[in-house]
Amino acid sequence: MNSNSIPAKVCAATLVAVIGASQSGCYEMQAAIGQAQLMRKREPIARVIADPKTPSALRRELEEATSIRNFASRDLGLPDNGSYRSYAALNRKFVVWNVFAAPEFSLQAKHWCYPFVGCVAYRGYFRRHAAREYAAHLRADGLDVSVQGVAAYSTLGHFDDPILSTMTGWSDADLASIIFHELTHQLLYVPDDTPFDEGLATLVQRQGVRRWLQAQGRTRDLAEYAIAERRYRQVIALLAGARRTLRELYASPLGAAAMRAKKRADFAALRASYRRLAAHWGENAPFSDWFRRNINNADLASIATYEQCVPGFARLLARAGGDFPEFFRRVRAIAKLGRAQRDAAACGEG
């Protein structure tokens, strides 16, 4: 993750459009075209590094990305393939924009279902205006909607995903985070179970960054990463509290007008709590971009997807003695279970 965003998301709809486009239509077409254009921009990282025209800052980042990529397979047991061994320059801040939605009085995210990947709680677009147009359509139906830019996504190993220019300009720890996160999706993906998939990738991402920084002897960066993670968890706890308050509100017998007014007050209280919490964190406070706009049910639903199963996977890693190959063996076995058993094993209270 970078300091202002939630963890990198998989743009599952893009995958569907490219590898399973038995459907036809504008949405699938834009995704297929966008993916094809991105793939054509790839260049081997070694070639970009060797090019004398490559800016020195980018060269250093790509050299670091190569080190991170090698560590991912060698030390974490993540896939050893062509992903993140090439580079693609894009003329935009994000590679895709994901649309999230939830009912006005519910934190249950709307889901979209596709072949191969199952149902996911977002819909991805390669063009910002297309995401905004679709978001406007959902708002007209009375839904709370959030459009969030995404710096990277995974095609789950069906293509060799490149390092994107949208992933550069970050700290080395943030770059490692996104590479470890997306490679975990390539290692294991359970269709129609976003909390499981994102919880696993988020746990591997965090543990992987710590181990990589330790292996590099970068004690100062490790300390800074620990501070950033602690702040992130504080905001997550704040958001979890807001979700509990809102769930109680939405389950109450209040009429629509009164519930709407109380909802506005609860979100105002959340924004005020965040301002107090982040008052001394500076401009790179986690989720600062979120709180510069009016967040809503869709935002709260989107972040819950990433955090729900992280504690359970942390316990599984501890039971495996911190050994990633053994951890992944156990997780694969759990992934084969039915949904209820899987939730209990990976996402329960332990």
State pLDDT tens for residues 303-348.
Answer: 877 888 999 999 999 999 999 999 999 999 999 999 999 999 998 7
163-164 β-sheet, strand order: 43-44, 86-88, 163-164
pLDDT band at residue 350 using 50, 70 and 90 as cut-offs: low
166: its two tokens: 């949208």
Residue 264 lies in a domain: yes
Mean pLDDT of the chain: 89
Total structural domains in the chain? 1
Distances (CA, A) of 309 to 188, 193, 232, 326, 328: 15, 11, 16, 19, 15
Instruction: Tell me, yes or no, whether 24 lies in a domain.
Output: yes
225 domain residue, yes or no: yes
Structural domain boundaries enclosing 84: 12-308
How sure is the predictor about 27, in pLDDT bands with cuts at 50, 70 and 90?
confident
How far apart (Å, rounded) are the C-alpha atoms in residues 341 and 4? 35
Q: Is residue 55 part of a domain?
A: yes
Contact call for residues 116 and 191 (beta carbons, < 8 A):
yes
Please return the burial class of 227, using the count of CB atoms within 10 Å of its CB with bins 0-12, 13-18 and 19+.
exposed
Which position has the token pair 């699938």?
A: 28
Q: For residue 103, is it within any domain?
A: yes
So what's the pLDDT on residue 102?
Answer: 97
Report yes or no on 338 lying in a domain. no
Query: Does some domain include residue 75?
Result: yes
Report which of residues 43 and 304 the model is more confident about: 43
**CB of 73 within 8 A of CB of 180?**
no
328 located within any domain: no
According to the model, what pLDDT value does residue 22 have?
35
